[in-house]
Amino acid sequence: MPRILMFAGALALLVGGCATSAETERRAETHDQRARNAAAYENYDQAAAEKHEADRLHAKAAEERANEAASGEAVPEPLPPPPAEVPPAEVPPPAPVP
């Protein structure tokens, strides 16, 4: 019985455990967006951590894309860059009422 469970677990990891390069790139773009948002609110420690994770995932996606191309798998096109983020504008204080 334990052997069957171990075999089923290993099979599940082999079949569903690998992300494609497009999925990894999408996760990297999410971290890029989080880094921009954190920087817009002057949370620079969080922005640096998110940017570090985004850079790591971008590199991993590039490696996966190269491996997919070498193995003959269909290589998806990289995602277009996200639109530029505009930081939130400061709201001026209300004008005094005469």
User: What is the per-residue pLDDT across 8-54, written as a single tens digit (0 to 9) for each?
Assistant: 555 554 444 567 888 999 999 999 999 999 999 999 999 999 999 99
9 occurs within a structural domain: no
pTM of the model: 0.60
Closest of 60, 59, 54, 62 to residue 82, by C-alpha = 54
How far apart (Å, rounded) are the C-alpha atoms in residues 49 and 63? 21
96 occurs within a structural domain: no
Total of domains in the chain: 1
How far apart (Å, rounded) are the C-alpha atoms in residues 78 and 61? 9
Burial of 25 (0-12, 13-18, 19+ CB in 10 A): buried
Domain that holds residue 37: 19-71
95 occurs within a structural domain: no
57 occurs within a structural domain: yes
How many CB atoms sit inside 10 A of residue 32's CB?
A: 20
How many CB atoms sit inside 10 A of residue 10's CB?
A: 11
12 occurs within a structural domain: no
32 occurs within a structural domain: yes
